[in-house]
């Protein structure tokens, strides 16, 4: 078989990159590494190795529906993936708060009994803070600036894992704040002869509103009944904020000694829960202040996909929330852009629910979006020297910018009839910015089925000399690759469904 290689020389970096494009027949691939001197290759050959690259002939048989070849990893591996940084962070937060509540309940630690409202509202403030777009962008910028490439790999992986799973702090603090509200109610009921009935009533209202807000965000409800989750989590969340303000102001204005109201006293400003409530209000308001109705062009290359085109370029690793309404039914999509200098950015919206179907059946000329975009895990790609971006179908939307804006990232995109399904705009972006040595586009329709994904990932990981793999796929595809990478010792980060 003839060799099929592609090589590029980068004089500025003083490196010789041998990268693989996948041939149409089985082949032994010879990789030759050459010394550079003053940006020019010498005649001395340093290394010559051979690897096997995946082939499309004979094409793999298309798996029967529901009967893939996925071999599950060991239970221990699955447990390690399940007990990820999200659950670890949540465990830490809940554990420390539980200990504090226990000590306060036993009257061993007196401060929480006197400042229970501060612990409750403080936890709720942190829960809101870590989900805020502006705070998230600040964290990503700080980490990417301080730890890019030079730090040991394990530190960079830990940074990515922590940033990706900040939702664990969100869930842990929200649950803990609710627990502190319950504890506060218990204390109020215990001393109800000294407390005003209005404080007791608002405590109950606040606790119930927070409880429903938390329950509506349970993964099963969020994933299977998105509109129910969004409606209750958002509007009852706002109701909780309003009730919290009333609860805080009533509690801080009531003098237990004289049993009288003094709302004008400066003492209110000295309570921590008052400032925590200010913080909650500020960080809830920031994303909505940046919400705008903007012009959009909709390209419909096929009944399965709508490609939305917006003005202005974006850095890689960002996601956008869009809606036809100013306050309801916001959906997140990965942003494709050639860089901050570009004139446009794009969203790939796969047709799945009512919202995405409406984009195809009734394309809008304008759409609501938050101008302040939030960062996704791909934003940490700058931490790594070389990486692989694996995606399936519309997952390309969250992956392509990273590969376009960084020559050190390799794209593996698995889909069906990609050119026809996703149209010339998306195909043009790939072929204009990624040479054939930097991507593998696996067309399952043309090749007769999906590839042996883990074989593809392992061989690309070795030949590309990658440090990490980022995955954007459906639930089963994500689990398959994550389990395979874990057992192979390949650092990988996949899509989340539990945040």
Q: What angle do CA 266, 267, 273 make, to 5 degrees?
A: 120
- Residue-level pLDDT at 310: 97
- Do the domains spanning 291-375 and 379-493 agree at the CATH topology level? no
Domain borders along the chain are: 6-53, 77-131+166-289, 291-375, 379-493
Give the pLDDT of the chain (499 residues) as one tens digit per residue: 333 333 333 333 333 333 333 333 343 333 333 344 444 444 443 433 344 444 433 433 433 333 445 678 889 999 999 999 999 999 999 999 999 999 999 989 989 888 899 999 999 999 999 999 999 999 999 999 999 999 999 999 999 999 999 999 999 999 999 999 999 999 988 877 777 888 889 999 999 999 999 998 888 888 777 778 888 888 888 999 999 999 888 887 777 666 677 766 556 777 888 999 999 999 999 999 999 999 999 999 999 999 999 999 999 999 999 999 998 888 999 999 999 999 999 999 998 888 899 999 999 999 999 999 999 999 999 999 999 999 999 999 999 999 999 999 999 999 999 999 999 999 999 999 999 999 999 999 888 888 999 999 999 999 999 999 999 999 889 999 999 999 999 999 998 875 4
From residue 456, alpha-carbon distances to 227, 310, 358, 387, 414 in Å are 38, 34, 36, 14, 11
- Residue-level pLDDT at 291: 95
- Residue-level pLDDT at 184: 92
φ, ψ for residue 192 (rounded to 5)? -65, -20
pLDDT tens profile 75-116: 999 999 999 999 999 999 999 999 999 999 998 998 988 889
For the chain, what is the HEC assignment?
CCCCCEEEEECCCCEEEEECCCCCCCEEEEEEEEEEECCEEEEEEEEEEEEEECCCCCCCCCCECCECCCCCCCHHHHHHHHCCHHHHHHHHHHHHHHHHHHHHHCCCCCHHHHCHHHHHHHHHHHHHHCCCHHHHHHHHHHHHHHHCCCCCHHHHHHHHHHHHCCHHHHHHHHHHHHHHHHHHHHHHHHCCCCCCHHHHHHHHHHHHHHHHHHHCCCHHHHHHCHHHHHHHHHHHHHHHHHHHHHHHHHHHHEECCCCEECCCCHHHHHCHHHHHHHHHHHHHHHHHHCEEEEECEEEEEECCEEEEEEECCCCCCEEEEEECCCCCCCEEEEEEECCCCCCEEEEEEECCCHHHHHHHHCCCCEEEEECCCEECHHHHHHHCCCEEEEEEHHHHHHHHHHHHHCCCEEEEEEECCHHHHHHHHHHHHHHHHCCHHHEEEEEHHHHCCCCCHHHHHHHHHHHCCCCEEEEECCHHHHHHHHHHHHHHCCCEECCCCCC
pTM of the complete model: 0.81
> What is the CATH class of 291-375?
mainly beta
Are 332 and 356 in contact by the 8 Å Cβ rule? The answer is no
What is the gyration radius of the CA atoms in the chain, in angstroms?
27
- Residue-level pLDDT at 441: 94
Question: What CATH number matches the domain at 379-493, 3.40.50.20, 3.40.50.720, 3.40.50.150, 3.40.1010.10?
Answer: 3.40.50.20
- Residue-level pLDDT at 263: 61
With CA atoms as reference, report the closest residue to 456 among 446, 445, 441, 467.
441
Q: For residues 233 and 33, give the distance between their C-alpha atoms in angstroms, rounded to a whole number.
A: 56
């Amino acid at each position: 078989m003839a060799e099929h290689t592609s090589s590029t020389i980068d004089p500025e970096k003083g490196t010789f990159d041998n990268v693989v494009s996948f041939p149409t027949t089985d082949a032994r691939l010879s990789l030759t590494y050459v010394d550079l001197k003053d940006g020019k290759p010498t005649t001395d050959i340093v290394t010559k190795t051979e690897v096997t690259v995946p082939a499309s002939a004979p094409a793999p048989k298309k798996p029967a529906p529901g009967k893939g070849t996925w071999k599950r990893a060991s239970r221990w591996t699955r447990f390690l993936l399940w007990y990820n940084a999200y659950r670890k962070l949540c465990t830490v937060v809940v554990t420390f708060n539980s200990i504090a509540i226990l000590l306060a309940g036993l009257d061993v630690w007196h401060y929480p009994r006197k400042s229970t409202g501060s612990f409750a509202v403080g936890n709720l403030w942190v829960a809101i803070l870590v989900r805020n777009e502006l705070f998230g962008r600040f964290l990503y910028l700080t980490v990417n600036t301080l730890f890019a490439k030079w730090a040991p790999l394990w530190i960079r992986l830990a940074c990515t894992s922590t940033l990706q799973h900040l939702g664990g702090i969100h869930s842990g603090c929200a649950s803990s704040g609710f627990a502190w509200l319950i504890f506060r109610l218990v204390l109020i009921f215990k001393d109800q002869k000294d407390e005003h009935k209005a404080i007791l009533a608002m405590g109950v209202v606040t606790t119930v509103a927070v409880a429903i807000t938390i329950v509506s965000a349970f993964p099963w409800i969020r994933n299977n009944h998105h509109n129910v989750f969004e409606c209750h989590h958002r509007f009852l969340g706002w109701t909780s904020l309003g009730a919290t303000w009333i609860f805080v102001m009533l509690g801080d204005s009531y003098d237990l000694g004289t049993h009288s109201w003094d709302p004008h006293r400066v003492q209110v400003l000295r309570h921590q829960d008052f400032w925590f409530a200010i913080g909650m209000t500020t960080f809830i308001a920031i994303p909505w202040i940046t919400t705008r109705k903007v012009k959009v062009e909709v390209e419909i290359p096929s009944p399965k996909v709508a490609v939305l085109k917006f003005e202005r370029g974006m850095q890689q690793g960002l996601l956008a929330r869009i809606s036809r309404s100013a306050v309801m039914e916001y959906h997140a999509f990965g942003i494709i852009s050639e860089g901050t200098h570009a004139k446009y950015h794009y969203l790939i919206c796969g047709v799945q629910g009512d919202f995405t179907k409406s984009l195809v059946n009734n394309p809008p000329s304008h759409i609501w979006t938050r101008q302040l975009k939030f960062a996704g895990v791909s934003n940490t790609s700058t931490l790594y020297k070389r990486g692989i971006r694996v995606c399936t179908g519309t997952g390309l939307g969250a992956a392509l910018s990273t590969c376009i804006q960084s020559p050190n990232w390799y794209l593996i995109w698995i889909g069906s009839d990609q050119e026809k399904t996703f149209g010339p705009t998306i195909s043009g972006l790939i072929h204009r910015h990624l040479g054939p040595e930097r991507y593998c586009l696996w067309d399952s329709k043309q090749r007769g089925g999906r590839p042996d994904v883990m074989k593809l990932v392992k061989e690309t990981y070795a030949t590309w000399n990658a440090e990490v793999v980022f995955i954007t796929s459906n639930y089963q595809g994500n689990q398959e690759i994550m389990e395979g990478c874990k057992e192979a010792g390949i650092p990988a980060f996949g899509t989340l469904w539990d945040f």
